[in-house]
Each structure stands twice: as C-alpha cells, then as structure tokens.
C-alpha cells in the first residue's frame, strides 16, 4: 500500500518527563514486545540526562490499536503522528529489532525529525530466523485458558501450553507479558493474525534511495546474525554517518527476542555520550542499574572505621596499610572519605549514626562503609574488648543505622559494606574479618597462621534494602593480615577494584576475590533485598561499574574494547583522582 493511502493510528505511549530542553528520546520496541520493556531504562535516562523520554507501543502491540495493516511505512507514520500530536519537532529515536527498522524508516522518510538514530540488533536488510517467530505465534494462537480463574493460574496454564514449542524459559516469560484479561477472558493483546500475515514484510525492509545524514549507531551482540559484515555496504549507503558497535555478550543474540535492556544499558553508555557521562554498562537487566548522579553536583561520602590499638587485645599491625589503601581507592571513585580510628563499640555506634545523618547523602548516589577491627562471631571488637561479650559492635547495628527508616537520605541508594575482621578462630570457608583471640588464652586448638600473616576474624548479616556486605570470613573462621602489607582480603579487594571496576559488576569482582584469596578461604558476599523495580537490585546481580577515564579524549575511543590510552590509565598506579567515577 502506498504511504499516501495509509491511515496512521493513535499509539499508546508513556512520557517520562525531564527538565532538559533538548529533544526527547523515543524508544520503539521489538516484535511481540511493548513499551513496558523500556520502563526502567526510561526512568534511568531521565534522571541521568534530564531529557524527556517516550516509550511507545507499536500498532498491533501493547495498548495500541489493532489494524490489518502491518508495514514499516505504516508504523513510521504512526510515530510521526505521535510526534506531531505532542508538538515534538525533533527526537532521538532508539529502536530495537522491529522498532529499529521502524526508526530507520522514519529517519529515511523524515530526516529533519530525527536528531540521532539508534538501531539495536537490526540492520536495514532482510532479517533471518523467521521460523522462530512463526513458531512462537503459532504456539500462542493455540493457547486456551478458561475464564474466571486467577491471573497467576492463567499464566501458569499458558506457560505449560507454550512449553513444547517455546523451550527457553526467558522467551516464554517474555511472551506471557502479552497475556491480559479482557471482559472476563484471557487473550493475547498482540494482533497475532495481522503479525503472522505480514511476517514477510516485518522481516524485510523498504527500498530507499536517499540516505539519512544524521549520526547513527548500530548496536548488536557480538554473535548476532542481525548485524553482520554482509550488511555493512547497505548500512553505509543509507546511513553514511553510522557507527557500528558490538557488545561482547552471547546473551544479546541468544535471547534476542526479549531485548531486556541489556542492550539498552549499553545504549546509555555508548550511544548517548552527549547526554551522560561516558561509561560501560553491559549488564543483564536494566533493573540492575542504580541511578548515578552528575559528577558536578553529587556529594559522595564514605566512612572508614579502623581499630589498631586495643586495651586488652593485640595490636593490629598492618591495619594502616589497609586504611590508606581503602582511602585512596574510595577517593579515586569520587568519595570524600571520613576516617575514625581506635573507637570502642559505643563510639563506633555514635560515629555511624552521625555519618548516617550527614546532609550530603541527600545529593549522593551511594556510600561505602568500611570497618576494620578484631572480631568475634557476634560482631566487631571495640578498643575495650576483653572477650566475646564485652565492647562488641553487632553487625546488625550497621544495618539498622542505615536502613530506610533511620537513614532516608540513602533510600533506594546502594550501601556497600566492607568488613575486615575475623569471626572466630577456625580455618575454613571465610567471609570478611579479623579475630579477637585473647593473648595467653592457652588454647591448643588455635590455628597456626600462614607464614608472615596474622589472623583477623567476622559474622552473618541482617538483610535490609539496598545493602551489599562483603566480609573477609565466614562465621567461626579467621581472616589473615600481614603486619607489613596489610590484610589478604583488603589487598585483594583494592587490586580487583583497581583493575576490574571499569569492566565487571561488583558481585563479579567479589567472586574473583573469593576465588583468588589463597589464605583463610574465600570471602563471602551477603546481599540485601530491594523494594523497587526501576533500578539495580543487588540480589539479582549488582552491576556497579567505574566509568572510563575522563582523561581519554581520543575521538576514536571505543572503550573498553580497544582503547590503549584507557587501558594504560586503568592499569596505572594509584591515585586515580578525578579520572574515575562509580
């Protein structure tokens, strides 16, 4: 059908408003998706860039009207109608899969409407793997759900019926987002008949002769068959200002149908470098991203409590090495570090409360709490500790001090707790810690430390919102500290963050530390639960990362894949200074 004879439809959309005057970002989903796929990424982008963000349901998808017509020309006109309706003269178009082809079509038809174009995992050529989509649609059309049953039961029945044809659980869950209740019946909100009838058109791409002259990014999984070298000539012909970037993650292509913001988080970093600080975020789920405040206005604070001298326990020689190393690490990550030394348990409690009450947390995006002392199973030893019951700071006190009730300034912001202390006097699997073995106790069961190391010891944590705790030892076990070079745990932590923070999520870094510690066993990560769905949740795999060094000004930098200047900066000795930010 000629575009002049197409009737644009009024699309369903959600506006995430932002104060910035620049053109908004408009997200177009893929086949069998919906605007809900981008809810969390939209919120994150608004908070970080200030730009308005629109998420849109395509025709025959989500809450948009159904139509027997399903072509890219028609879908482009739908979006154009929406832009006129909202009086938006220009936008940044970000489209995934089918949405990417719609975005390309609109940019080629009306280039003045598009400030910048992003096509995620799709090229302007005929796509492959039609049979998968047809099989999904066929399975969906065969689903039969009785009316009058709870939604959870309906979803379970539908999944059971989809399972023989759709064997990947992630894909089934994605398809089930389209199951809705309407007038007492469970139906698919996507127009399966129109989509299956026009599948050839959806997998194809219209013919264009005039190119789109604006900046364009093609973003794809490294193993994706949808943006290959065979597509380069057509990409260059239609989008002469295009850049192609591949994300080294098989999951982007293996579970392509879901999109699942893995790619869209990469969009945040690689595509929108004019909106946001340049950073590398190749995480699994967009819900896994905590909002990061602008460097110019954020006021990050970190607290270090380090007990070295004790009235009744031996001196923690080497603790100053840990303290100075952590200070430099946190300062390099953009935190103003507050240090307190040699406190009894009550003084530690007061220090934690005063730190939790700091006004700077309101304009911060995270905090680090580092506590280093002798320890017992019950907690951390104060300077007056004599045994396992005197002058002990319970670990739960840290959580209660910084929970959502007592520290609202850090509500929905990550709180990373690092504890270097023993949790007992046995060898074995270890968390984080420093042990409070009293001198001269005569215990024949006390373990002999590895040569050149002293034991340190630690405890189990209370689960709160937005916390992640990394301790040097598990309960009843020792951690080891060198009087000259500091603790094995803190040394490993600093080294791993220094070398891997730019490319690995926080829990992955912690896992490497656990695996790499040669004395005292692996440390343990304790993860908090989260009460929100729009940002990163540690309990599903936290992905806090350090951005590429701002010092790298190479115009060709595609960090972190091949920029030697970035790599040189990353592997340079401390201090990092302002070149790094979490």
Structure tokens that stand for 334 in this block? 């953009």
CA–CA distance, 334 with 262 (Å, rounded to integer): 26
Mean pLDDT of 459-467: 52
Structure tokens that stand for 201 in this block? 């058109």
Q: What is the CB neighbour count within 10 angstroms for residue 146?
A: 10
Helix (H) or strand (E) holding 160: helix 151-162
Domain shared by 67 and 87, yes or no: yes
Domain shared by 184 and 235, yes or no: no
pLDDT in tens, 340-397: 999 999 999 999 999 999 999 999 989 999 999 998 878 899 999 988 889 999 988 9
Helix (H) or strand (E) holding 242: strand 242-247
- Quick one: pLDDT at residue 1? 53
CA–CA distance, 55 with 38 (Å, rounded to integer): 7
Domain shared by 341 and 248, yes or no: no
Domain shared by 190 and 158, yes or no: yes
Domain shared by 208 and 194, yes or no: no
Structure tokens that stand for 307 in this block? 């007990």
Q: Which of 96-100, 138-142, 367-371, 419-423 has the lowest mean pLDDT?
A: 419-423
> Residue 525: which domain range?
301-539
pLDDT in tens, 351-366: 999 999 999 999 998 9
pLDDT in tens, 546-572: 233 333 333 333 333 334 443 343 333
The answer, yes or no, to whether the previous bond of 560 is cis (omega within 30 of 0) is yes
Residue 286 belongs to some domain of the structure: no
Q: How many residues does the chain have?
A: 582
How many domains does the chain divide into?
3
Domain shared by 404 and 480, yes or no: yes
pLDDT in tens, 472-512: 654 444 444 455 556 777 887 887 776 666 555 676 677 77
* CATH assignment at residue 349: 3.40.50.1460
Domain shared by 465 and 517, yes or no: yes
- Quick one: pLDDT at residue 450? 44
pTM across the whole model: 0.50
CA–CA distance, 513 with 417 (Å, rounded to integer): 15
- Quick one: pLDDT at residue 286? 39
Domain shared by 192 and 263, yes or no: no
pLDDT in tens, 201-212: 999 999 999 999
Cα 89 to Cα 226, 231, 265, distances in angstroms: 31, 31, 26
Cα 333 to Cα 310, 482, 532, 545, distances in angstroms: 31, 26, 25, 10
Domain shared by 484 and 405, yes or no: yes
- Quick one: pLDDT at residue 484? 58
392-394 and 379-381 strand pairing: antiparallel
Q: Where are the alpha helices (H) located in 267-356, listed in sequence order?
A: 319-332, 345-356
């Amino acid at each position: 059908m000629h575009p002049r004879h197409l009737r644009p439809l009024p699309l369903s959309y959600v506006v995430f408003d932002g104060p910035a005057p620049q053109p908004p970002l408009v997200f177009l989903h893929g086949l069998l998706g919906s605007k809900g796929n981008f809810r969390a990424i939209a919120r994150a982008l608004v908070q970080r860039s200030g730009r308005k963000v629109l998420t849109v349901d395509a025709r025959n998808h989500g809450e948009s009207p159904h139509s027997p017509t399903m072509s890219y020309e028609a879908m482009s006109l739908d979006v154009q109608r929406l832009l006129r309706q909202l009086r938006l003269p220009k936008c940044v178009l970000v489209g995934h899969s089918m949405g990417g082809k719609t975005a390309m079509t609109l940019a080629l038809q009306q280039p003045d409407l598009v400030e910048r174009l992003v096509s995620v995992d799709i090229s302007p050529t005929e796509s492959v793997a039609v049979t998968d989509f047809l099989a999904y649609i066929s399975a969906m059309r065969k689903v039969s759900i009785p009316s009058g049953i709870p939604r959870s039961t309906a979803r379970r029945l539908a999944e059971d019926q989809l399972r023989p044809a759709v064997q990947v659980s992630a894909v089934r869950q994605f398809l089930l987002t389209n199951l809705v209740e309407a007038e007492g019946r469970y139906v698919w909100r996507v127009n399966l008949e129109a989509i299956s009838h026009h599948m050839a058109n959806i997998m194809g791409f219209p013919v264009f002769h005039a190119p789109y002259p604006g900046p364009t990014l093609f973003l794809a999984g490294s193993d994706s068959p949808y943006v290959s070298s065979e597509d380069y000539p057509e990409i260059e012909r239609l989008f002469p200002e295009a850049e192609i970037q591949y994300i080294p993650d098989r999951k982007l292509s293996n579970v392509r149908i879901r999109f699942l913001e893995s790619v869209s988080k990469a969009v945040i970093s690689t595509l929108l470098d004019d909106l946001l600080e340049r950073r590398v975020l190749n995480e699994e789920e967009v819900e896994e991203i905590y909002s990061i405040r602008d460097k110019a206005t954020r006021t990050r604070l970190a607290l270090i409590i380090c007990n070295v001298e004790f009235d009744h326990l031996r001196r923690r020689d080497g603790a100053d090495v840990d303290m100075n190393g952590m200070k430099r690490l946190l300062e390099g990550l953009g935190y103003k570090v507050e240090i307190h030394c040699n406190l009894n348990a009550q003084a530690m409690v007061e220090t934690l409360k005063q730190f939790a009450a700091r006004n700077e947390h309101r304009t911060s995006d995270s905090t680090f709490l580092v506590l280093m002392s002798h320890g017992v199973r019950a907690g951390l030893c104060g300077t007056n500790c004599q045994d396992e019951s005197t002058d002990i700071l319970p670990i739960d006190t840290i959580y209660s001090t910084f929970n959502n009730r007592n520290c609202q300034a850090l509500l929905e912001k990550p709180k990373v707790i690092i504890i270097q202390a023993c949790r007992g006097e046995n060898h074995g699997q270890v968390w984080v810690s420093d042990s409070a073995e009293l001198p001269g106790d005569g215990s024949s069961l006390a373990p002999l430390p590895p040569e050149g190391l002293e034991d340190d010891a630690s405890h189990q944590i209370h689960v709160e919102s937005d916390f992640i705790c990394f301790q040097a030892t598990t309960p009843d076990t020792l951690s080891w500290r060198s009087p000259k070079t500091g603790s094995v745990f803190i040394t490993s932590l600093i080294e791993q963050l220094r070398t891997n923070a730019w490319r690995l999520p926080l829990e992955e870094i912690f896992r490497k530390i656990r695996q790499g510690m040669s004395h005292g066993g692996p440390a343990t990560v304790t993860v908090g639960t989260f009460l929100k769905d729009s940002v990163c949740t540690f309990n599903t795999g936290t992905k806090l990362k350090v951005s590429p060094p701002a010092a790298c000004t190479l115009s060709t930098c595609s960090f972190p894949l091949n920029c030697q200047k970035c790599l040189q900066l990353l592997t340079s000795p401390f201090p990092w200074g302002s070149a790094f930010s979490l």
